[in-house]
Amino acid sequence: MRRPMEFTLLRTFVMLVEEQSVTRVARRLNLTQPAISFQLGRLEDAAGQRIFERDHRHLRLTRHGEMLLPYARQMLKLHDDAKARLSAEEIAGRVTLGCPDLYAACLLPQTLARFRAAYPGVEVTVRCALSAQLSREISDGRLDIALATRMPNVHPKVDSITLLRKEPLVWLGAATGSAFQERTLPLAMLPEGNLYRDYALAALNHAGRAWRISCVSESIAGMEAMALADAAVIVLAQSAKVSGLRQLDAQDGLPPLPRVDLVLWRREPGLLTAADHLADHIANDIGEILN
């Protein structure tokens, strides 16, 4: 009879998928790399299947690993929720979370509601800003954790960076509008320095499509208002669902867009228990299988 799949082993497995690095997981768990490999071997023995391809440098999941991952996350979530509910009264304090307003509106409401129910003694302050600004603020110690978009020239001074998911970008326009048909495409964009903007303009330039900036807004709401008025086309993450807007694609004359990396920054894991628990909630709720 095979040994049970221990929670410690499942947690290491999920962390390896999220971090995509044995070195980073070993550092987070204060273990050696051989110890992490040993834990992985024990889990594979318990599962009776290989869960990673033999080339561990790239940490590519096997078919059985992909099958196990959602179960592992669910078991860990139930385990952590049970522990949290039992110890909720002991955890209190204040956590400052940074994120772009798009993620605050589309990805975090249910997570924050569940966290508040589990930890009523924790006060969460949300700071909305572009990822580059969040990087500066968490590096200066003004944020405890941040949900952000990975950018090529943005390197926050934090102890932990976790890749949560690869988020597709999409063009959006008014559901019954025609702005996308204009000879010179009108755009509503975030200010310069935003990766969504950079990718959108690069795609249009590569496709030879003429464009103009008809609106620059520091908030997603301002961009959405322009799109809903059929005054502009915008670019958002695919997870954003806006009533009255529809996704535009090649059939509408718009080029494909790349994906962006959605990452979780932890300034100093272990420093604030409340921040660690909120980070775990975000990782469990938003993280996906990475191909």
Question: Which of 41-45, 153-157, 158-162 is the least confident region?
Answer: 41-45
For the residues 193-200, what does the mean pLDDT come to? 91
Bridge partners, 246 (sequence order): 173
The tokens for 162 are: 């976790």
Determine the pLDDT at residue 89.
Answer: 58
- Domain encompassing residue 60: 7-84
Does residue 2 sit within a domain? Answer: no
Does residue 113 sit within a domain? Answer: yes
Q: Are residues 14 and 155 in the same domain?
A: no
pLDDT band at 156 (very low <50, low <70, confident <90, very high): very high
Q: Are residues 267 and 129 in the same domain?
A: yes
Which residues have a Cβ under 8 Å from the Cβ of 25 and sit 6 or more positions away? 12, 15, 16, 19, 36
Domain count of the fold of the chain: 3
Question: Which of 49-58, 121-130, 186-195 is the least confident region?
Answer: 49-58
CATH number, domain with residue 43: 1.10.10.10
Does residue 291 sit within a domain? Answer: no
For the residues 100-110, what does the mean pLDDT come to? 88
For the residues 191-215, what does the mean pLDDT come to? 94
Does residue 281 sit within a domain? Answer: yes
For the residues 132-141, what does the mean pLDDT come to? 95
For residue 261, pLDDT beyond 50? yes
For residue 88, pLDDT beyond 70? no
Q: Are residues 113 and 225 in the same domain?
A: no
Determine the pLDDT at residue 192.
Answer: 86
Q: Are residues 108 and 80 in the same domain?
A: no
> pLDDT > 70: what percent of the chain?
95
For residue 1, pLDDT beyond 50? no
CATH number, domain with residue 177: 3.40.190.10
Determine the pLDDT at residue 2.
Answer: 63
* Domain final residue pick, 34, 57, 84: 84
Determine the pLDDT at residue 289.
Answer: 42
Does residue 80 sit within a domain? Answer: yes
DSSP structure string for 140-170: TTS-SEEEEE--TT-----SEEEEEEEEEEE
Q: Are residues 173 and 247 in the same domain?
A: yes
The tokens for 18 are: 């999220």
